[in-house]
């Protein structure tokens, strides 16, 4: 079952309920963020990077620690090209299913994998997107207690079920607005189409006057509001 039509409603409900998460950027700015979950992948991520390079776009990647350990050279390439790096857990287990100790270990193992591949210190990688978007108030309390920054989304085209590139692009274009935080996937689920999706989507968004920024920039803009 697909739930793409429900995500805008879920966003409108959750955003005011959990204001300490990053859901979007400044509604008065044409700055938007392209974010990619579940990588790095040995095939799909390099294909995506070629598209981002073509348009000189800086994106934000939320990594699984297990995938970083499997593909350290690709992780380093992403980092070296100036993209923003965040955490998506070690192995994509839903946060509410983990004990506090297991959750902390999952994040720290992912930071360690990133440090080994990219030489980024743990303090430099503290943005966290929960797998599947699942979290509880207790989850957020722990993340803040451990000095992580929870990052959510405002545009979810459900690309991981592979409805087709044209459908994913259409969903994004219908929902995008100033400050949008767009979620796509470059991992095993959905990554097959990510380069084609980005190749179609980016020029259309540029034509509409949007500027691509990283999640860190959206945080900075949010702090200034």
Summarised one tens digit per residue, pLDDT across range 58-105 is 999 999 999 999 999 999 999 999 999 999 999 999 999 999 999 999
Q: What is the pLDDT of residues 48-68, one digit of tens each?
A: 999 999 999 999 999 999 999
Find residue 31's DSSP bridge partners.
Answer: 211
Task: Show me where the domains of the chain are located.
Answer: 29-224
Q: What is the rounded average pLDDT for all residues in the chain? A: 95
Asked if residue 60 lies in contact with residue 72, where contact means CB atoms within 8 angstroms, the answer is no
Cα→Cα distances 44→50, 82, 83, Å: 10, 18, 16
pLDDT of 2 > 70? The answer is no
pLDDT of 13 > 90? The answer is no
Distance CA 88, CA 66 (A): 10
Secondary structure class of 198 (helix, strand, coil): helix
pLDDT of 221 > 90? The answer is no
pTM: 0.96
Q: Which residues are catalytic?
A: 37, 185
Cα→Cα distances 205→36, 169, 183, 208, 210, Å: 17, 10, 15, 5, 6
What pLDDT does residue 202 have?
A: 98
Q: What is the pLDDT of residues 125-168, one digit of tens each?
A: 999 999 999 999 999 999 999 999 999 999 999 999 999 999 99
What pLDDT does residue 4 have?
A: 75
Asked if residue 40 lies in contact with residue 186, where contact means CB atoms within 8 angstroms, the answer is yes
Instruction: Please compute the mean of the pLDDT values over residues 207-218 and round it to a whole number.
Output: 97
1 confidence band (pLDDT: 50, 70, 90):
very low
How far does the chain reach from its first CA to its final CA, in angstroms?
Answer: 38
Instruction: Note the CATH number of domain 29-224.
Output: 3.20.20.370
What pLDDT does residue 11 have?
A: 81
All residues at 6 or more sequence positions from 156 whose CB lies less than 8 Å from its CB, including other chains: 4, 7, 11, 133, 183
Residue 38 dihedral angles phi and psi, to the nearest 5°: 85, 0
Asked if residue 128 lies in contact with residue 143, where contact means CB atoms within 8 angstroms, the answer is yes
What pLDDT does residue 69 have?
A: 98
Distance CA 10, CA 6 (A): 6
All residues at 6 or more sequence positions from 6 whose CB lies less than 8 Å from its CB, including other chains: none
């Amino acid at each position: 079952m697909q739930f793409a039509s429900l995500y805008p409603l879920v966003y409108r409900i959750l955003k005011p309920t959990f204001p300490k998460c990053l859901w979007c950027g400044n509604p008065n700015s044409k700055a938007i963020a392209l974010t990619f979950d579940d990588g790095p992948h040995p095939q799909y991520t390099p294909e995506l990077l070629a598209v981002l390079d073509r348009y000189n776009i800086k994106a934000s990647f939320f990594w699984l620690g297990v995938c970083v350990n499997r593909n350290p050279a690709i992780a380093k390439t992403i980092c070296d090209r100036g993209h923003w790096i965040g955490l998506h857990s070690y192995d994509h287990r839903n946060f509410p299913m983990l004990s506090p100790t297991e959750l902390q270990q999952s994040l720290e193992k992912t930071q360690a994998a990133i440090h080994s591949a990219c030489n980024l210190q743990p303090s430099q990688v503290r943005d966290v997107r929960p797998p599947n978007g699942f979290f509880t108030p207790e989850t957020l309390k722990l993340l803040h207690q451990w000095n992580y920054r929870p990052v959510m989304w405002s545009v979810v085209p459900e690309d991981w079920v592979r409805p087709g590139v044209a459908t994913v692009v259409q969903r994004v274009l219908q929902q995008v607005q100033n400050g949008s935080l767009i979620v796509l996937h470059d991992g095993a689920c959905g990554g097959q189409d990510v380069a084609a999706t980005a190749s179609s989507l980016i020029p259309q968004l540029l034509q509409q006057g949007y500027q691509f920024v990283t999640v860190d920039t959206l945080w900075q803009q949010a702090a200034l509001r």
